[in-house]
A and B are shown apart, each in its own frame.
Chain A
């Protein structure tokens, strides 16, 4: 986990070049840890805390989603590679782009706003209200 510059409303993670596509970084925002992810050039930030049983969510692997339905003729197919985060404790999967758990639907992680200002990645200190 990195120490980053913090103001009242955001934390500077660092330059974009330090977080290439497919990578992530865990930072501290006040008293919580937040994982910041670069998903194909777009940045997302979410708590390092699984809503299932409080596991270190952002220590889990990032991958895709297996799908199998009528559109795939009921054959397994890999889908959305790089967009799904899996909790290392119990394997619950979360959509990095929305925070939604793939199953069960009642679980959802908050997201923090992320913007790039002057080449730096900034994460807001207040979660996005939904």
Chain B
């Protein structure tokens, strides 16, 4: 459930949260997973799951000790009814549900196991969580190791009225999204009309993003892991011309906040002006693609003492590129009303809180109806 004291947002338009995370622990997927990999999930389930750190499932090199009293615990949700109730308390009309542990999916190098987990997740999320009538939407997961199976899964589930995107897992990717070997997956998403979602996560891995294990605490890791992942994948996608090759593909970056964006806008265009010949696929500066085909979710909303400069940052990128994401039920989740900290006009806020998400994800949600109702557009 959402925290006590949270009150529903009463702003004008529908509230659509594009980042709510599901309890995708190994145990949950057992009934949906094929043999023999169901047995692997059963073995993993005998140990209590740690946040973003289940060996063989969501591995992370957690070398730093817990500092008393420890990190606040994430809230627990067990059913779609509990999830819907939590959204109601925040005044959220519709939500796009993402994995939690499986944000680490690119670290599951075992070809057959990861393929089975991908299919199991899709069966689990479509049968137990997605419910457009209740405003609950989900996404598919792409396997960078098994693109043929990923394309099959896209074809199998893309027509489901509650499937609204394809998650491209970020940490552990080698090569990053943008390498030509991933093009068939992106083509399949483009053809299916599914936005691709690049959601950052605090994963310390021996592969990308490297060297994070040297930092001694979560402060440093969280400060860098999320924007580094977003910056690296965005740069990779642009440096190989993916937005130009896939002009109908929509990219949604999440989890890294917003303050990194003005830097990228300025930096990419500056470098492009001098190295254009290396990127002949781009007919325009990178910022043009960023501001036409890319969107960004708010979580975790930075809270500078002077909110004005973050407001300015939003406007530099374009308020119509920003979509609200709570990150719930993570302990550091945001609320729709947190968007009100920015000195934006009513239309800009309405777009951020739900208007843009309705367009990008094709979600039609009614605002503040008490009983939240959503349906596919």
Contact = CB atoms under 8 A, between A and B. Distances in A.
Contact of B272 (A68, A76, A103): A103
A104 B269 CA distance: 8
A129 interface: no
A103 B275 CA distance: 9
A92 B244 CA distance: 21
B274 A68 contact: no
Nearest to B180: A74
Interface stretch (B155-163, B168-176, B227-235, B276-284): B276-284
B241 A68 contact: yes
A104 B274 contact: no
Interface residues of B, number: 16
Contacts of A74: 241, 245, 281
Nearest to B247: A70
A69 interface: yes
A128 interface: no
A74 B198 CA distance: 24
Interface in A71-108: 74, 76, 90-93, 102-104
SS of B interface (majority): helix
Nearest to A104: B273
Contacts of B274: 90-92
A98 to B, nearest CB: 16
Nearest to A84: B277
Interface string B249-281: 000000000000000000001001111111011
A65 interface: yes
Q: How large is the interface on A (under 10, 10 to 19, 20 to 34, 35 or more residues)?
A: 10 to 19
A21 to B, nearest CB: 23
A66 B278 CA distance: 8
Contacts, number: 38
Given A74-B241, A103-B285, A66 B269 contact: no
B131 to A, nearest CB: 40
Nearest to A90: B274
A115 B278 CA distance: 35
Given A74-B245, A104-B269, A69 B281 contact: yes
A67 B276 contact: no
A110 interface: no
Contacts of B244: 69
Contacts of B278: 66
Contacts of B285: 103-104
A102 B281 contact: no
Contacts of A69: 244, 280-281, 283
A68 B273 CA distance: 17
Interface string B68-109: 000000000000000000000000000000000000000000
Contacts of B283: 69
A66 B241 CA distance: 14
Interface in A32-69: 52, 65-69
Given A68-B241, A74-B241, A52 B281 contact: no
Interface of A: 52, 65-69, 74, 76, 90-93, 102-104
7 contacts: A68-B280, A74-B241, A92-B276, A93-B276, A103-B272, A104-B269, A104-B273
Interface of B: 241, 244-245, 269, 272-278, 280-283, 285
Ordered nearest first, which 5 A-B pairs have the shortest CB separation? Answer: A103-B276, A68-B280, A66-B280, A91-B274, A68-B281
